[in-house]
Amino acid sequence: MEICDRCGAVIEDGDIRYLIRIVSKVDDGGVIKNPIADEEVEELIKELENVSADDLERDVYEDRSYILCPPCKRSFMKNPMGGPAGESTDDESVL
């Protein structure tokens, strides 16, 4: 038995469930070509001292997994980014 991470519905053994995996990786878009200067490294270290190791790690790489029931999976896939664009697709009469 599992619990849907979105709506909390009980998913019995043998019922269909979906594993949603979200991997977030930092990407500079290939624009950083020059190595960082020593002074900049020192500045970065100073800045980073105020950030917890956990936060820092999440900024660079984050891997999350969720279990969803079928209705939540459909709903999630319609609007995975959670932005307003997906909201209107629920109503198919809207063109």
Residues near Zn ion, by CB under 5 A: 4, 6-7, 9, 69, 72
- At closest approach, how far in Å is the CB of 50 from Zn ion? 38
Cα distance between residue 53 and residue 82, in whole Å: 28
The least distance separating Zn ion from the CB of residue 85, rounded to whole angstroms, comes to: 22
Nearest-approach distance from CB 69 to Zn ion, in angstroms? 4
Cα-based distances in Å from 65 to 6, 18, 20: 12, 10, 6
* Nearest CB to Zn ion, comparing residues 7 and 56: 7
Q: Which is nearer to Zn ion, 7 or 48 (CB)?
A: 7
